[in-house]
Amino acid sequence: MSLEKFCTCDYYDCIHHPNKNNNECNACIKKNLQNLEIPACFFNKIGSGEGVDSDYTFYKFAEKVMSSK
């Protein structure tokens, strides 16, 4: 599967973005796990990437999932 069809993250300036890491998500996922966060692409998948205000915590993700029903 090509990155263009998979990655929904639009934070292209991030040093962990797949397009800066051989089209792999490893750096992004590692950073997020270390910070107890969920990658932005998960928020994008549920249509709630907007208005996250840099809070990508597990709690905020769960809150967004529950409010998207």
Q: Give the model confidence (pLDDT) of 2-48 as tens digits.
A: 555 678 888 889 999 999 999 899 999 999 999 999 998 898 888 75
Q: Is the pLDDT of residue 51 over 60?
A: no
How many Cβ atoms are within 10 Å of 67's Cβ, its own excluded? 9
Residue 32 belongs to domain spanning: 3-67
Report the number of distinct structural domains present in the chain. 1
pLDDT of residue 49: 57
- pLDDT of res. 28: 94
What is residue 25's predicted lDDT score, i.e. its pLDDT?
92
pLDDT value for 3: 55
The predicted structure's pLDDT at residue 2 = 53
Give burial (CB, 10 Å; 0-12/13-18/19+) of 43.
Answer: buried
